[in-house]
Amino acid sequence: MAVVTTRATHRRAVARSRWRGPKVAPLFFLAPWLAGITLFFAYPLAMTVYLSFTSYTMLDRPEPVGLRNYVYMFTEDPRLWQAVGNTGWFIAVMVPAQVLFALGAALVLTRIKSGAGFFRTVFYLPSLAPPVAATVAFVFLFNPATGPVNQVLAAVGVEGPLWFSDPAWAKPGLVLLALWGSGNLIVILLAALLDVPAELHEAAAIDGASSRQRFVHVTLPSIAPVLLFAVVTGVIGALQYFTQAVVAGSVASGSADITPSAQSPGPPEGSTLTLPYWLFVQGFQRFNMGYACALAVMLFLVSLAFIAVLLRRRSGFAGSAA
Amino acid sequence: MKRTLVWIARHCIAIALAVAFVLPMAFIALTALMPDQQAMTSALWPASWEWSNLLTVFDRAPVLTWLVNTVVYATLATALTLLSSVPAAYALARYRFRGRNAALLLVVAIMLLPPQVLVIPMYLVWADMKLTGTIWPLVLPMLFGDAFAIFLLRQFLLTIPQEYANAARIDGCGELRVLLKVILPLMRPAIAAVGLFTFFYAWNDYYGPLIYVSERPENWTLSLGLASFKTVHAVQWNLTMAATLIVMAPLIITFFLAQKAFIEGVTLTGVKG
């Protein structure tokens, strides 16, 4: 009886809400955001595309130049391929390293019975360090002369590299920085691992599956959506990787400015020059606004491809209705 | 026997990882408290504990100004984001209307889009309005809803049973009162998490202030200031690390005060949906 009453009440409520609120209310609640996407998304996106076909230095009006920016980008830009290569390196190395490391750490946490909360807090805490502060600290920790890391390495008989002063070691140093700050991902993956139904594991164990087989056939498929989320958001993070690269380069090279070096961007020897870094140099230091917009369009197209992958696979993002 | 060994191995790995996570922090703190002459050597342990370094930092650079600017930026950004994002998230979670799925797709796409894609036209607009050099270009857009906040709040709203709102409607509440009197109190944990994330995001932000604020040093934030600190104080690693500690400390203290809201919020970003 009680059930019936609630149902009826519910139906009446639905009918009522259809009749009065829903036409105007959602529009009212969404109005600021709709204005926002026009002002801060649609307009600048259209302008980025438009300016990418112009030459514009903020002094004169934008002058249409057709495809010249794009032709320059692919045939003449002396730094573009280095920037693309570095950004590609971060996607290919930093993202998998971070996901695998976080998965490993999360797996360890699932097996710990005593002090799990303590370990989770310790793993998570460094990810709160502001990127600039963390990067400055890492340049110190890894400084070749007096830094603790190379001293520890020397103590065990290994001669440490020059890290952020060596073009070959600057990016690996940044990967270590990223691993130190992967606490967010650890917590997300830990939650996903704990969500895997225990019955599945038990059933597989009864069927004689080894722990490795259970990991491959039970755990991995269950957490696959979260892993995909981690990889795609990681790739998108790598595409906009800027702060740590700029700060590590300028602090290690002792540059006297807070802004990235315009003359020799990405110290040492361009090894930390990423695509967004190059866009910043072109747009805000050399004031080649038109060309910087062409770089932004390329960045947009690549990002969009990855965003599309995520949205297609995780239709739940948009589909799961109330 | 084998079980015991596996148990020991697991805990050893966990402890090794924990040490790896903690050591950088420990070295930062130890160096920050070293005397000047020692900070240039390879010593790892302070010969004497110079707590005054933490105060000296405020004399050497306008850290207090940066701190105030950062607090203003982060507070305004948080307040405006919540104010504008809660109603939008509510509309996307609780009403059916044409174009809702498209709007949801747009929220996620904008959330993931690198800010660099749109930064040049935005900079030109703010420069036209003579607002570059101030924090307004960083704060005003928050009046119009933040995609990440909307996404997260909506995820949470989906877990609140619809019945609460319907009961209030039967009692004669209008849609706005339903949101304010019924839904808002239930949303407290999500609002706490999103508020903390937004505050931390603004506190940590380097790209935004670099683009819009860097031309006027009196409006610098901590992130901008800290990036310049080492170059101004060439080899004084102890003061640089002390400044780093000062930038990190408020976040870490906040975390310990609000740990639960944090972990729940982080979990919400990745799992649901």
Backbone phi, then psi, for A64, in 5-degree steps?
A: -60, 130
Enclosing domain of residue A165: 78-313
Q: Within this chain, do residues A32 and A83 fall inside the same structural domain, yes or no?
A: no
Residues of chain A with C-beta less than 8 angstroms from the C-beta of B104: 317-318
CB contact under 8 Å between B114 and A188, yes or no, is: no
| Position A112 in a domain | yes
Burial-class residue A72 by CB neighbours within 10 Å (0-12, 13-18, 19+).
middle
Least CB-CB distance to A303: which of B113, B145, B166?
B113
Is A283 part of any domain? yes
Q: Average pLDDT, whole number, for chain B?
A: 89
CB contact under 8 Å between B169 and A251, yes or no, is no
Least confident of A11-15, B18-22, B61-65: A11-15
Decide: helix, strand or coil at residue A303. helix
In the predicted structure, residue B48 carries a pLDDT above the cut 90: no
Q: Please report residues of B whose CB lies closer than 8 A to that of A105.
A: 17
Task: Flag whether A15 is in a domain.
Answer: yes
Output the pLDDT for position A259: 65
Q: What are the C-alpha distances in Å from A227 to residues A197, B56, B266? A: 17, 46, 15
Q: Is residue A321 part of a domain?
A: no
CB contact (8 A) between residue B227 and residue A121? no
- Quote the pLDDT of residue A319: 40
Model pLDDT, residue B82? 96
**pLDDT given at position A20:** 47
Write the DSSP assignment of B139-204 as a string of letters.
Answer: HGGGGG--HHHHHHHHHHHTTS-THHHHHHHHTT--HHHIIIIIIHHHTHHHHHHHHHHHHHHHHH
At residue B268, the pLDDT reads 74
Shortest Cα distance, chain B CAs vs residue A283, angstroms: 7
* pLDDT in the model for residue A314: 59
Please give the single-letter amino acid code of residue A74: F
The pLDDT value given to residue A321 = 35
> So what's the pLDDT on residue B260?
81
Query: Chain A residue with minimal CA distance to B87?
Result: A29
B93: nearest CA in chain A?
Answer: A322
Verify that A48 and A90 share a domain, yes or no.
no
Of B268 and B153, the one with more pLDDT: B153
**Does B155 score more than 60 pLDDT?**
yes
Tell me whether residues A299 and B179 touch, CB distance under 8 A: no
Between chain A and chain B, the number of residue pairs with CB atoms below 8 A apart is: 311
CA distances to A302, A314, B105 from B81, rounded to whole Å, are 28, 26, 20
What are the boundaries of each domain within chain B?
A: 62-232
Instruction: Test B169 with A148 for CB contact under 8 angstroms.
Output: no
- At residue B17, does pLDDT exceed 90? yes
In chain B, whose CA is at the least distance from the CA of A316?
B273
Under a CB-based contact definition with an 8 Å cutoff, are residues A318 and B105 in contact?
Answer: yes
A29 and B88 within 8 Å at the Cβ level: the answer is yes
Residue A225: closest C-alpha in chain B: B271
**How near does any CA of chain A get to the CA of B173, in Å?**
10
Cβ-based contacts of B24 with chain A (< 8 Å): 126, 137-138, 141, 180
From the CB of residue A212, how many other CB atoms can be counted at a distance below 10 Å? 8
The reply to whether A19 falls in a domain is yes
What the block records as the tokens of A218 is 């039970």
CB contact under 8 A, A132 and B227: yes
Cα(A308)–Cα(A322) distance, rounded to whole angstroms? 23
Cβ–Cβ below 8 Å for B234 and A126: no
In this complex, the residue of A114, A151, A303 whose CB is nearest that of residue B42 is A151
Chain B residues whose CB is inside 8 A of the A109 CB are 14
B97 and B103 Cβ atoms separated by less than 8 Å: no
A13 and A100, same domain (yes or no): no
Q: Please check whether residues A232 and A300 belong to one and the same domain.
A: yes
**Nearest residue in chain B measured CA to CA from A106:** B14
**Chain B hits for A310, Cβ within 8 Å:** 108, 112
Measure in Å the smallest separation between the Cα of B191 and chain A Cα atoms: 17
Residue A130 per-residue DSSP state: -
User: Pick from A35, A140, A187: which is nearest to B241 by CB?
Assistant: A140
Nearest-CA distance A168 → chain B (Å): 22
Residue A80 has what pLDDT? Answer: 95
Q: What percent of chain B has pLDDT over 70?
A: 96
Residues A95 and A179 in one domain: yes
Task: Please tell me the predicted confidence (pLDDT) of residue B191.
Answer: 93
Q: Are residues A194 and A301 in the same domain?
A: yes
Per-residue confidence in pLDDT tens, chain A, 322 aa = 344 445 555 555 555 554 444 678 888 899 999 999 999 999 999 999 999 999 999 888 999 999 999 999 999 998 999 999 999 999 999 999 999 999 999 999 998 877 888 999 999 999 999 999 999 999 989 988 788 899 889 989 888 899 998 999 999 999 999 999 999 999 999 999 998 888 888 899 898 888 889 999 999 999 998 998 899 999 999 999 999 999 998 888 876 565 666 678 888 889 999 999 999 999 999 999 999 999 999 999 999 998 888 788 755 444 443 3
Contacts of B5 in chain A (CB under 8 A): none
Shared-domain flag, residues A106 and A222 = yes
Residue A192 belongs to a domain = yes
> A145 in helix, strand or coil?
coil
User: What is the mean pLDDT of the segment spanning B31-47?
Assistant: 84
All residues of chain A having their beta carbon less than 8 Å from the beta carbon of residue B95 are 21-22, 25-26, 29
Contact A303 B114 (CB under 8 A): yes
3-class DSSP assignment, residue A139: helix
| Domain count for chain A | 2
Query: Quick check: B106 and A37 CB within 8 A?
Result: yes
- A238 closest CA partner among A77, A93, A48, A74: A93
Helix, strand, coil percentages, rounded to 5, for chain B: 75, 0, 25
Tell me which chain B residues have a C-beta less than 8 angstroms from the C-beta of A246: 206, 227
Q: Are residues A82 and A153 in the same domain?
A: yes
Region of poorest pLDDT, from A59-68, A134-143, B168-177, B238-247: B168-177
CATH 1.10.3720.10 fits B62-232, yes or no: yes
User: Is B263 in contact with A141 (Cβ distance < 8 A)?
Assistant: no
Whether residues A171 and A58 fall in one domain:
no
A319/B240 Cβ within 8 A: no
- Judge: B112–A310 Cβ closer than 8 Å, yes or no: yes
* Residue A205 pLDDT: 87
Q: How far is B48 from chain A (nearest CA, A)?
A: 18
Separation between Cα atoms, residue B209 and residue B224, nearest integer Å: 7
* In a domain? residue A254: yes
Q: Which of chain A's residues have a Cβ under 8 Å away from the Cβ of B88?
A: 29-30, 32-33
Are A130 and A158 found together in one domain? yes
Mark whether A132 and A217 lie in a shared domain. yes
Lowest mean pLDDT of A211-220, B104-113, B168-177, name the range. B168-177
Q: What is the mean pLDDT of residues B218-240?
A: 82
Residue A172 belongs to some domain of the structure: yes
* Six token digits for residue B253: 């203290």
Same structural domain, A275 and A144: yes
Instruction: Output the domain CATH number for residue A280.
Output: 1.10.3720.10
